[in-house]
Amino acid sequence: MKAKAPKHSETIMTQIVFPNDTNPMGILQGGRLVHWLDTAAAICSQNHAEHICVTASIDSVKFKAPAKVGDIVTIKAKVTRAFTSSMEIFVQAWAKKVLTQKEYLINEAYFTFVAIDDNANPTQVPGLKPSTEKEKIEYQLAEERKLARLKV
């Protein structure tokens, strides 16, 4: 199985914050945002694995700033490391104010997805071949994050 570059499966998903996505204060609900993050990570992992993938864990979810009704939310998901049947996906969400075009980071998280076969058993995924310095650092740190997850 040939290793793939992170850019092969990088996913960019865009949403607009509608009133039904928010709490009574007009702020995007955290659960809705996590749903969007999970969807982007699923698309990213499935493009990398070329299999159906399921969420195994979500860690380090950090809500940095709120998004509000009318904001445009752009979610970027990228594989940071592929293991035997699992992949770590780093996801960031950015909000943009339509009138000012000001963009700001609202969330970031690490997801772990597992590729499954037709019988819902874990199946092997292609390796990851990082090319940029940032991708290489994320690749190395992913091993440490995985070990930390397994200790819990």
The 10s digit of each residue's pLDDT in 94-136 is 999 999 999 999 999 999 999 999 999 999 999 999 999 999 9
| CA–CA gap between residue 43 and residue 53 (Å, rounded) | 9
Question: Across residues 69-91, what is the average pLDDT?
Answer: 98
| CA–CA gap between residue 145 and residue 41 (Å, rounded) | 17
pLDDT at 65 over 90: yes
What architecture is domain 6-151?
Roll (3.10)
The pTM of this model reads 0.94
Secondary structure (DSSP) of the chain: ---B-HHHH-EEEEEE--GGGB-TTSBBPHHHHHHHHHHHHHHHHHHHHSSEEEEEEEEEEEE-S--BTT-EEEEEEEEEEE-SSEEEEEEEEEEE-TTT--EEEEEEEEEEEEEE-TTS-B-----B---SHHHHHHHHHHHHHHHHHHH-
pLDDT at 29 over 80: yes
pLDDT at 80 over 80: yes
% of residues, the chain, pLDDT over 70: 99
Question: Across residues 130-148, what is the average pLDDT?
Answer: 95
| CA–CA gap between residue 58 and residue 73 (Å, rounded) | 20
pLDDT at 76 over 90: yes
What Cα–Cα distance (Å) separates residue 10 from each residue in 29, 57, 82, 90?
25, 19, 13, 10
Task: Give residue 149's pLDDT.
Answer: 86
| Domain segments of the chain as ranges | 6-151
% of residues, the chain, pLDDT over 90: 93
Task: Give residue 17's pLDDT.
Answer: 98
pLDDT band per the 50, 70, 90 thresholds, residue 21? very high
pLDDT band per the 50, 70, 90 thresholds, residue 60? confident
